[in-house]
Structure 1
């Protein structure tokens, strides 16, 4: 079995303050009483799990003009076991061998997954609370663009350039998210970056999952994106003596939310897409590099064979806390 591990980012639910209190009261309470990172129980059976807590960023100005409340985004590690180890459909900057795509996915569930941005399908737009169908469509379209910039953009994947991704977010969040992207394993909760020097084996990154929209208790749109991203990578170092199906793939499962507030309710710098809660997990990876916020293939086993992601890892319906042992 492959060396596996998981990292998760857990956040307060958009509904965690209860529906009966005013927006300003809830925000003041959140800023005065920051949520503590949960301390998980000691891991068993050799499994090493790392968990992170990221608090939502909400900086809202009430239209009545009486108050502005700022709740900062923090990344606070909550340790369980040993801590080791996100412009539309861009193509990878460097393609080692385009024809390798078919063989990389052969005999794996990803062989039939949609390719690239075609696998990100926003739900049909419909009026939701105070938002018109056009508002919902605009928010989900921007969410798709943000996911593409975070998980498929060649500048992000192979060069670590976060410019396009950050440009999709509300202006006030960009410095804080930029800092979070430098925070080790927590960075993968926002964007996918390959270890410097690691190359995609083909442009055909496979994706499977869903996007849905609901209304939060602050009357904001909450957009949930639950996707499995399958990256075919070029292995560096020793040549495997045997390659298992999926042996040259890294599978990343992300469950993340974005939020969209009514523009008339917030000041100009707060308008746009806002990061919410989520969690993630990766398989068939190098655990040490994962702890630094990067993806690359895990090492060969003791017999010189590739390892491979478990079949369940390809299924978006599998919770992204599938246990592993790094």
Structure 2
């Protein structure tokens, strides 16, 4: 998105970063028991081919899925055959689009990938550190998004909540099992139209699966949090807008989170639910319908916006 010299979006040309968040499902239904070791799935698991278009349906769901083991934290999950981390973020072929040359597009796509990695796959960010590298890729001349995230990292609120863009877990509560986060999704490129004329748009739609365990001494039960993000990045024509070269603007974002405590006060972290949590606090406040966090066949704006129940993790 582009901005005039006062840091405001031209009324008929662009809009502020859309805070259209679909924060969804919050309850765990599957708990596993691994150790805190950087182990991988046993045997050779061939990853799915890269996603090139929206799936027509959710991944098949077994009535009695295999339980994950200490060495296999993704066992029983569709993510078992997903790519590992950054390997799941493949770039479309660069080509000249709108005001941008092929080389400029290639650079923008690479920057977009770097942002997604820094925001969702950086081990330090996952364990709750400030997403310094990701923030540095956002255009400071965009008047709302970066400043909102900066404020949220100091004092989180429902509006200024870092988890709207960054995958962060409270280091006082949980930690990642091993070192692998499973990733699946796609990135597309288009020339903006209408109010987005003179903008090149990069649309991203990725799901990240995080196996976590409590940090309490002796804790072994593991659960998974599934985060799907749809983010549209905007590259405005610098001849028409005041922008920072090499930085990204966010025009729209939405997120669906499977297995995040709906009742927890906003604090800038995800709070996965374990079996013991559900047994201790059966009334979790989930009032919405059940949702499959692995279902990538629908746009996030088609999903219920109230807190509901995750059918699997």
TM norm. shorter chain > 0.5: yes
| Structure 1 residue 290 displacement after superposition | 7.2
| 2:128 and 2:269 in contact (8 A); partners too | no
Partner Cα distance (1:165, 1:134) in 2:
22
2:138: which partner in 1?
Answer: 169
Write the mapping of 1:116-195 to structure 2, written as runs, cut at 5 A: 116-173=85-142, 174-181=146-153, 182-185=155-158, 186-195=161-170
Partner Cα distance (1:77, 1:251) in 2:
19
Partner Cα distance (2:235, 2:88) in 1:
22
TM-score, normalization: structure 2?
Answer: 0.66
Q: State the superposition RMSD in angstroms.
A: 3.7
| 2:85 and 2:182 in contact (8 A); partners too | yes
Write the mapping of 1:26-175 to structure 2, written as runs, cut at 5 A: 58-61=2-5, 70-71=8-9, 96-99=36-39, 102-173=71-142, 174-175=146-147
| Structure 1 residue 295 displacement after superposition | 1.4
How many pairs were matched up? 245
**Secondary structure of the structure 2 residue equivalent to 1:292:** coil
**Secondary structure of the structure 1 residue equivalent to 2:292:** helix
**Secondary structure of the structure 1 residue equivalent to 2:76:** coil
Write the mapping of 1:267-306 to structure 2, written as runs, cut at 5 A: 267=242, 269=244, 272-289=247-264, 291-300=266-275, 301-302=278-279
Query: Is structure 2 residue 213 aligned with structure 1 residue 234?
Result: yes
**Secondary structure of the structure 2 residue equivalent to 1:248:** strand
| Structure 1 residue 137 displacement after superposition | 1.2
Partner Cα distance (1:154, 1:296) in 2:
17
The gaps in structure 1 that reach 5 residues or longer are: 1-56, 62-67, 86-94
Q: Deviations over 1:301-322 (max 9, x none)?
A: 33999xxxx8831132244335
Partner Cα distance (2:101, 2:22) in 1:
42
| Structure 1 residue 256 displacement after superposition | 1.0
| 1:130 and 1:219 in contact (8 A); partners too | yes
Name which of 171, 194, 201 aligns with 1:222: 201
Distance 1:145-1:317 versus aligned 2 partners, 3 A rule: same
| Structure 1 residue 278 displacement after superposition | 1.8
Bigger relative CO (Cα 8 Å, ≥ 6 apart): 2
Q: Deviations over 1:193-241 (max 9, x none)?
A: 1113221111110001111011113221111110110001113559899
Partner Cα distance (1:304, 1:100) in 2:
33
Q: Deviations over 1:8-65 (max 9, x none)?
A: xxxxxxxxxxxxxxxxxxxxxxxxxxxxxxxxxxxxxxxxxxxxxxxxx64235xxxx
| Structure 1 residue 132 displacement after superposition | 1.6
Partner Cα distance (1:100, 1:294) in 2:
26
| Structure 1 residue 183 displacement after superposition | 3.5
| 1:214 and 1:223 in contact (8 A); partners too | yes
Partner Cα distance (1:143, 1:319) in 2:
20
**Secondary structure of the structure 2 residue equivalent to 1:199:** strand
Query: Is structure 2 residue 296 aligned with structure 1 residue 316?
Result: yes
**Secondary structure of the structure 1 residue equivalent to 2:227:** strand
The gaps in structure 2 that reach 5 residues or longer are: 10-14, 28-34, 42-70, 283-289
Q: Deviations over 1:67-97 (max 9, x none)?
A: x5614958879999xxx99xxxxxxxxx931
| 1:254 and 1:281 in contact (8 A); partners too | yes
| 1:224 and 1:255 in contact (8 A); partners too | yes
